[in-house]
Structures are given as structure tokens and as C-alpha cells.
């Protein structure tokens, strides 16, 4: 069956459909960025938890009973602090990416309303 719509209406319809698809893609990307933020957060949480567990184990081991925890506790404490600083920076950057995605999603929504 032949398309009976005038060319002007077909173009407006196509533009609306393109805007809808663009909006759906923008929302999908925004959702993906949020999921990535939480995945990075969970990885860093596990890494810090492992360091805390090892520090706790070292503190309650036989070495602590002798009064000498040795360099292990110092090294793990420094690594934990560095890991926490990296965690903070990664989280800040992840939220910046998410803000960027939301900004562009808002622009896509505004364009979709104009069409």
C-alpha cells in the first residue's frame, strides 16, 4: 500500500520519531552512567573492606601480642588512605559524567518538545 501522507507531514513525523529515539538513547545512557557509578563504588568498597580485614587480622595476630605489628600495618594503612583518596576522586568523576549525561538528556528533551 502506497504512503498517502504528504511529504511535509512525513518529514515532521520522521523528525518526531528521531527525537523520541534520541531521547530513549539519552535516558539509556544516563541509566548506564548511574549503574557504572555504583559498580565503581562497590569495587572500591570491597577493596577497602579487604584492607580493613587484613589490618584487623594483623592487629589480633600473635605479632600484636608481642607488641610488634611490624611494617605491615603501616603499609596497609598508607595503601588504605591512597585507596580512599582514589575512591573519592573516582566517585567525583563518575558524578561529573552523570551530570554531563543529564545535561545532554535535558537538551534532547527540549528539542523533542520543539519538534
- Using 50, 70 and 90 to split pLDDT, how confident is the model at 75? confident
The Cα–Cα gap between 68 and 74 comes to 11
- pTM, rounded to two decimals: 0.60
How confident is the model over 96-104, as a mean pLDDT?
A: 80
Burial grade of 58 (CB within 10 A; 0-12, 13-18, 19 or more):
middle
* DSSP string computed for 44-62: HHHHHHHHHHHHHHHHHSH
Q: Which three cell numbers stand for residue 23?
A: 531521547
Amino acid at each position: 500500500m502506497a504512503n498517502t501522507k504528504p511529504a511535509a507531514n512525513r518529514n515532521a513525523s520522521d523528525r518526531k520519531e528521531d527525537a523520541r529515539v534520541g531521547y530513549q538513547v539519552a535516558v539509556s545512557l544516563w541509566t548506564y552512567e548511574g549503574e557504572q557509578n555504583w559498580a565503581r563504588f562497590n569495587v572500591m568498597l570491597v577493596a577497602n573492606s579487604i584492607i580493613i580485614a587484613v589490618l584487623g587480622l594483623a592487629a589480633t595476630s600473635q605479632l600484636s601480642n608481642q607488641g610488634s605489628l611490624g611494617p605491615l600495618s603501616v603499609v596497609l594503612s598508607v595503601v588504605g588512605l591512597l585507596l580512599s583518596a582514589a575512591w573519592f576522586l573516582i566517585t567525583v568523576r563518575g558524578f561529573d559524567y552523570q551530570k554531563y549525561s543529564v545535561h545532554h538528556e535535558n537538551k534532547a528533551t527540549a528539542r523533542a518538545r520543539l519538534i
